[in-house]
Amino acid sequence: MGVASGTEISVIYQWTGNEEAMFNTIMAPFVDACGVKINANSTRDAAVLDTAVKSTPPDILFWPSTSPLQLYADKLLDLTSLGVDASNYADYWQKLGTVNGKLLALPAKTDIKTLIWYSPVQFQANGYQIPTTLNDLETLADTMVSNGQVPWSMGLASTGSDGWPGSDFIQNLLLAMQGPDYVLGLLDGSIPYNDPGVLAAYQLYVKWASDSQYTVGGATGTVNTNFADALLQPFSDPPESMMVDQAGFAAGNIVAAYPNLKYGTDYAFFGFSGAKGVQGSYDLMFAFSDTPVVKAMLAYITGPVGAANWAETGFSIDPNKLAQGHFTDPVIADMAKVLETAQGFTPDLGDTLGGTFQAAEWKAIVDSVQGADIQTELNTAEAAQMATLGK
Amino acid sequence: MPIVPKIMKQGRLAPFYYLAPALLIMFIFIVYPTFNTLVLSFTNKSGTASAATVCVAGQPCWGVFDDYRYAFTSPEMLIALRNNALWLILMVPATVAIGLIFALLADRVRYESLAKSIIFMPMAISFIGAGVIWRFVYYVNTSGGAQIGLLDAILVKLGFQPVAWLSDPRINNFALMIVGLWLWAGFCMTILSAAVKGLPSEVLEAARVDGAGEWQVFWTIMLPMILPTIIVVTTTLVINILKIFDIVFVMTNGNFGTEVIANRMFQLIVTDVGKSSAIAVVLILLTIPVMIFNVRRFRAEEAAR
């Protein structure tokens, strides 16, 4: 591709330690074949990035938010003009990275948390089917209750950030009841957080989370149980509950607590029933220069060899369609399948809108579970949402 | 005129040279930050523009004082102000009273130093550490297993239902105050014990010889004589309780109606500099009367000597 051996390419990303090592493993074939050198700068500091972009921008940037799209729109280069085939990425990814008709960002990797963890052994013993719609999920929960089982574990406690597990659950309910565009509307403020749609999601959540028939310990259990304890409850012997809504990291916690359990038989997950999109996080890639080496690196990552390497290395989920079928880690492979069927991707509402709204959101959840008037709580959170967005 | 070596003659400015280092440090670390906090309390959430700019037409607004509207009228701050008042009204007198009782009782037993050491020991634990310890004491298990929290384990053993000490809004504030009491009672006891020991034994003996009962000796002789010390202990506690933070932050993070002023300030410091600063100013204003009272009393005592 006309890349001179010994060429250097500067990269900024947030990865450190194991993540950085996995990235280097993925890039190794490219580095060896072209004889290039990756000069990486690992930082989580947006100010460091800003200084760099304004003086000597990196050739390629990996960043876990869309903020560079607004901040550096005039400096970023159209990835299609650099030879990237965007058709390997779902439409919603292309939409996410497009500004004024130019594709400025594509996802390098993503983690998703629109998942419900359960015990396949228990489901089989009771004859339960994996629910594919929200109605099925509600019916299944009711069936479990009538069988004398507790469907959910919903611990909200987390020192300094009580409530976040509930915000994930509610966002999943919103994705099932309303869809990803609705959640994106909440993010940009075109839909207020005290909208009837949000209220309906809270009502279903609170119905489950505050009743000891539906969740371990009822409201008291929900607000007092640490999320890390709650996610183990379906897998204790005998199980204390049947299901728990939690992100991908739950697998690590379950294995650590119960080393003898096998993924796929003793513990597994399914995509949140009826969710029309997924929620999670992503690292987007951006390009600031159009040198041959940048084109070569982007072609490698977005092309078949790089995508397969990314998937085989198991560095989260590579949303590139070319990565499909190459995932070797069974947990990541199953998560990738959940992502494949998703019609949209939404980042975490609270994480994206930030502190003031997030605190109000968590408080609304904790208070609602404890019996506060949901509409009043949502009105307070809506004020924080609009204040954050400057509306 | 006596001959004074020139080196010992000091100009009118000399005292200020000696004071300069202290004044400089005071200015950098106290005066300037206080002033800056005051300025920030009139700004928006990033501290970049006047607080009046965030006002939305048709909604209540106090103009440049809008951060103070939050500090005095928002639901969460009203709860915080109420809770700080509760702490002052209930926890402070209870702690001083218990400290005094310990001081008086310990004065009369042989193993006094042992008893006092045990009561004083919590003072050596950091407040964060104490919060973590008491979280275990108050822990409630809502799933199938046994209660591992000390209090609920005892309750269940006695045949009662377990109690959610920290999330039940009817009792959680008192549960937190007990942690504060546990931490501070030793401090009160130590200072009050010194005052009790400093009482002249002739006066007490004279009263007893004249036929006063122990109760009478306490109320009419001991209490008036140690009153200045009680006031010192109380004002110290009042200032510390106004800024109570660690216990609440670790144990409930202000959830379930346990919010306090300092925790609100901490929660907002990153996300909303203006409101956080306004709360800090309110906290300073609440502390000032106690400070003035303390200084006045100190001066009066000095004058009486």
Could you tell me what percentage of chain A is helix, strand and coil, using 3-state DSSP and rounding each to the nearest 5? 50, 15, 35
In a domain, B193, yes or no: yes
Residue A61's DSSP bridge partners are: A12, A286
Which residues fall within 8 angstroms of residue A30, CB to CB, at 6 or more apart? A36, A296, A297, A300, A306
Does the beta-carbon distance from B271 to A162 stay under 8 Å? no
CB A362 within 8 A of CB A161: yes
Does residue B250 belong to any structural domain of this protein? yes
Q: Residue B270 is nearest to which of A163, A240, A355, comparing CB atoms?
A: A355
Is B202 a domain residue? yes
> Domain containing B245 — which CATH number?
1.10.3720.10
Q: Are A26 and A40 in contact (CB under 8 A)?
A: no
Q: Where are the alpha helices (DSSP H) in chain A?
A: 17-34, 46-55, 67-71, 91-97, 120-126, 134-146, 164-177, 180-188, 196-209, 218-224, 227-230, 250-257, 292-302, 304-313, 330-340, 349-353, 355-369, 374-389
For the whole model, what pTM was predicted? 0.84
Contact residues, chain A, for B255 at CB < 8 Å:
162-163, 223, 363, 366
Give domain status of residue B75, yes or no: yes
- What is the distance between the alpha carbons of residues B224 and B235, in angstroms, rounded to a whole number? 17
Instruction: Please name the residues in contact with B155: beta carbons below 8 A apart, sequence gap of 6 or more.
Output: B147, B161, B162, B163
Peptide bond into A259 cis (omega under 30): no
The sign of the dihedral angle between the CA atoms of B14, B18, B21, B22 is negative
Tell me if chain B has a CB within 8 Å of the CB of A372: no
For residue B225, tell me if it sits in a domain.
Answer: yes
Q: Domain range for residue B229?
A: 63-125+173-277
- Cβ atoms B251, B179 nearer than 8 A: yes
DSSP structure class, residue A130: P
Domain total for chain B? 1
pLDDT digits (tens, 9 = 90+) for A326-371: 999 999 999 999 999 999 999 999 988 877 899 899 999 999 999 9
Q: In the 8-state DSSP scheme, what is residue B49?
A: S
Report yes or no on B140 lying in a domain: no
Structure tokens at A294: 């940048």
* Interchain CB distance below 8 Å, A224 and B140: yes
**Structural domain includes residue B30:** no
Residues in chain A with CB shorter than 8 Å from the CB of B140 are 220, 224
Distance from CA of A380 to the nearest CA of B (A): 9
Radius of gyration of chain B (CA): 25
- Report residue B170 as tokens: 């009817």
First to last CA, chain A: 49
Residue B154 lies in a domain: no
Contact call for A220 and B143, based on CB within 8 A: no
Question: Which chain A residues are closer than 8 Å to B45 by Cβ?
Answer: 356, 387
Task: Copy the structure tokens of residue A366.
Answer: 């904790």
Provide Rg for chain A, Cα atoms: 22
Query: pLDDT tens digits, chain B, 305 residues: what are they?
Result: 667 777 777 778 888 888 999 999 999 999 999 999 999 999 988 888 888 887 777 778 888 899 999 999 988 899 999 999 999 999 999 999 999 999 999 888 889 899 999 999 998 899 999 999 999 999 998 877 788 899 999 999 999 999 999 999 899 999 999 999 999 999 999 999 999 999 998 988 898 898 888 889 899 999 999 998 999 999 999 999 999 999 999 999 888 889 999 999 998 888 789 999 999 999 999 999 998 998 898 888 888 77
